[in-house]
Every structure is written in structure tokens, then in C-alpha cells.
Structure 1
């Protein structure tokens, strides 16, 4: 597929990845250099869903709407267009870009622009919890900061970053509760009264840990990955991440992961604090998870779809 025109929506509140300096005019020029007409706008994240809908319904609708930000930004947009024919592209400039990486998008802005210009449209799965769409993962019972700490430990390059992440974990862990939940899923999966500091439900495969970046096929297999910490100790998770970082592993030890088509999580409390694609929310228990198969149309680099 050749993309001729796009609208790029930059999340005005997105935390930019280190080294990213995004100028709208420069970004439009970068697209022009690869033959794509791009209108670039900086918008409030709360306006992203409605803006995408308006653009797609317009007379001069673009070939795709590109959202520039991290997982949270993509999640905002996806929630508005899932189940429609809107084509979304992802320009990964946020702090956490796991979904973009699963799509095979390069993190370098220039390389990402070139990849989007010749990308193909692929229908991928999204997860849903109590009607709320997520593209990467939902974490139960904790603030998203915990996942950010673990992510930094797993992806840290060099002792400076690892020490910084570990120091951050000390501050965060004191505020993280240990949850007691019931889990129920098809195939005889049933756990009652499970006490754990981490329950993670991922769209696609997360079997190597929180920061897992897997093949595109895992976003089209109709499964969610359920990851549960084996230990009841919050600190055991951080120590495990610390050991993994020292050994050069990107896997998260002390957890078990299985693939399920749907899942019910019942908490002891009436409401549950969750992190959905890095954003903190409060949902009512029980939490009903399901997969919406091939419900989101996204741009994927053509080299990943060749021969598919």
C-alpha cells in the first residue's frame, strides 16, 4: 500500500521519550520528503477520539490518521475507532511504546515516518475490560508507576539507569497494595483467593515479561496473556527484575503466564484500581476481559506483511 495523505495528531500532554524533539513543521516536511501529504496538529488527549472521528467522516478524509505518542495515546484513539474502518498509524514518541513495537514500528522518528509511508493495513486484536479498550496491557491493583519501574529495570542500559530505576522502585513499592482476587477463565482456569502484588492481562503475547516485544502474529491470535506473580512479596518482584537486569535478561522472573480467550477477575472490594495502557483508572468489580478479534485497522511496515 502507498499512503498519500495523513493527518498526524500529536498528544499535547505526552511524555516524550529521551532524545525526541518533535516540531510539527519538521514532521510535516519529513512526510513530504517521502511523498506523503501530512497535516500535523497538536491536540489535547481528551480531544483525540472525537478528532479522529471527525477527520474520518470528512469529505477530504486522509488515507490514515497517525497518532503520535505512547501506548496511552494510542489507547485513547483506539477506543474511539475500534470496530470501524478507520485506519490508525502509530508514531512512537512516548515514554512507553510497546504496542508500536509489536506492530514492528521503529522508534527512530525518521525511520518511523518512512515505514508509515509504505505501510500496509492490518486488522489486529484489541483487549477489552468492562467495555474499556486496551491495546497493550491492563494491570490490576496497582498504580501504573509500578509497571514503569519494572519496565525501566528490564530495559535499562548500563548500571546508571538500572540504579535509577531500582531507587525509584523503593519509593513506589511502599504505596503498592497486595491484592486478593478470584480468577476464572475457560479451560479449567480457576483460582480463588489468590494473593498477589501483580496481575497483568496483555493484548497479545507478554510471555517474556512486562516489556515483551513479540511478533505481529500475537496480535491476531485471539488470545489474552494472563500473567500472575508467584510470590506475594512486592519486593520479590523488584529483586527479580534487578537480577534479570544484571544478567542481561529481558524476561520477568517469578511470574506465570497463560493464554486465555477471556477472563473474569473478582476482587474483594467493590472497585479496583487498574492501569490501562499506562493510565490509572478505577473500575467496578468483577472485571470482565475479552478479545475483540481483528477489530482495529492499523498501519504495519510492509516488510512485516510481505508474503503474508
Structure 2
């Protein structure tokens, strides 16, 4: 099989490890597994073009080095195609890489991908935009906005910026009014500080990521308007993997979720896999079952 590695040589993670080290390990490990390899560099803003070029080159799989945003971008190009996606955990939290069962060390992850199996995974779709982890608004949106105003040049400085932004939001959690319909049912009013729709249901006992990649259900998570103390408790339970037990969080599942924002402002935004997008008055979200081919470490 033929695999292409996509590498942003300007990313903090790649610079910390060394592009040459990653490329050498990729070439040796994949060739030892009997595969042909190629390496492609891209810069900021060039990822989608690089993905499309690789996908049309006749390769069987693309190995994407990056975080959830990069994995989401790759999925947006590869969903519905025969080209498989492999994820090297080069981001801050690497939540989708965790869902795939990837080792979090990049060198170990390369070895695992070289001998991985191809499986079909679900993806979420919000108004035509693919996501692999979650669509969210409210608390998460404000935290990402604050983080983007901070300076960070490495994985650890970005993690610090994210943590600082999250706790800054707890001082005055936002309140959103929306209407929600699950699987075509009646619209229900929701007044919330935090609202998220996830690609499969979050597992228990760990950071917020799905244990199943093909469960066929969207997870729906939302809160009431939060006090500062309640917001801190939610952050605690998110880290500990006990969010399902949090008294302030309501959960549900669906295959289709429709959201309406009757008092939407032009400046309102949402977050898809850590990236800010414009929030529309109506958002139609669905699960696309087994629409993406992914590389998963072979457990045998």
C-alpha cells in the first residue's frame, strides 16, 4: 500500500521532535511493513490544498500529523473516499487520536500506524461541515476566542493558554438561548452556558472523547446557566471523566440534531474541533455512519 505523510514543519510539535526524525521513522517503519511512502510539507493555510493533492495522487492512506483541527480538516477531504486517515497526535489534547486508540508519543504512533488495520468510522456533519470530535457553542466558544488572543509557540504554551482561557470564562460564564430538536421531534427551548454535540458518546473515566468510533450516535451535552462554582465543577468532571454524573449537565443521544438560535448576533460563533466558525441561525447536525476510513492500531 502507498501512504503519504503530511507534515507542517513550522508546528511547535514537529519542531520539538524534529521533522527529520519523524520523516526517517515514518519511512523506515512503513517500508518495514511493506508499504511505499512519500512525505509532503505544508504551511499554515495550505492544509486543505495539500490534502486534496495527496488524496488524488493514488495513495491508499494519508498520515496527518496534528491535533483535532488537523484531523477534522483531513476528514473533511477524505470522508466518503477510499483513502484512509491515520492520525499522528501532534496537537494539544489529541482527543480524536485517543478515540482511535493511538499512542500519544509520535514515534510510537508511527510504528503503530505502520501495522494498523483499516476500519470505518463515523463522522459528524454540521451544516455541511465535517467534525470528528464535537460541535460546540457557549462556554467553549468564549474560551477559544480568549485563547486565540494569547501568544503560544509550542504545545505546552498552547496548553497553558487554553487552561488560562477556560478558567477565565468561569468568572462570568456566557448564557445562550436556543431551541433544540432531536431526531425530528418537537423543538424545545434551552437556556444554556455550555452546549455540545459530539461524534459518538463520550466515554467514562477519562478526558472527553468517544470510546467507540462507529457507535452511530451523536452525544448531546448541555447545561443550565452556570454560576462560577458550577463551571469549575464541570471543568473538574470533564478532566476526571465524570461529566455524566455532574448535576448541572444534561445528556442525550440522537442521530440528527437541529438547533435554532432566534436571537443570533452577527458576531456569534461556534467551535468545530477547536476551530472557530460563524454560527448560523439554524444548524442541522447529523451522524454519518462509517463514512470515514481510518487507521487503528492492531491490538492482536
With structure 2 as the length reference, what TM-score do the two structures score? 0.81
Count of residue pairs brought into register by the alignment: 279
**Counterparts of 1:203 and 1:50, CA distance in 2:** 25
Distance 1:45 1:259, change over 3 A: farther
Q: Is the 8 A contact 2:184 2:256 kept in 1?
A: no
Distance 1:169 1:209, change over 3 A: farther
Q: Which of the numbers 249, 261, 269 marks the counterpart of 2:240?
A: 249
Structure 2 regions of 5+ residues with no counterpart?
A: 147-158
The question of 1:131 aligning with 2:125 is answered: no
Shift of 1:32: 3.2
Q: Is the 8 A contact 2:173 2:228 kept in 1?
A: no
Shift of 1:202: 0.3
* 1:40 match: 39
**Counterparts of 1:238 and 1:110, CA distance in 2:** 37
Q: Is the 8 A contact 1:125 1:220 kept in 2?
A: yes
* 2:293 match: 297
Distance 1:200 1:14, change over 3 A: farther
Structure 1 regions of 5+ residues with no counterpart?
A: 150-161
With structure 1 as the length reference, what TM-score do the two structures score? 0.79
Distance 1:35 1:73, change over 3 A: closer
Shift of 1:130: 0.6
**Counterparts of 1:209 and 1:273, CA distance in 2:** 30
Distance 1:285 1:242, change over 3 A: closer
**Counterparts of 2:277 and 2:140, CA distance in 1:** 9
**RMSD (CA atoms):** 3.1
Distance 1:78 1:142, change over 3 A: same
Deviates more, 1:125-134 or 1:269-278: 269-278
* 2:66 match: 69
**Counterparts of 1:298 and 1:163, CA distance in 2:** 30
The question of 1:28 aligning with 2:23 is answered: yes
Q: Is the 8 A contact 2:143 2:165 kept in 1?
A: no
Distance 1:268 1:298, change over 3 A: same
Distance 1:289 1:168, change over 3 A: closer
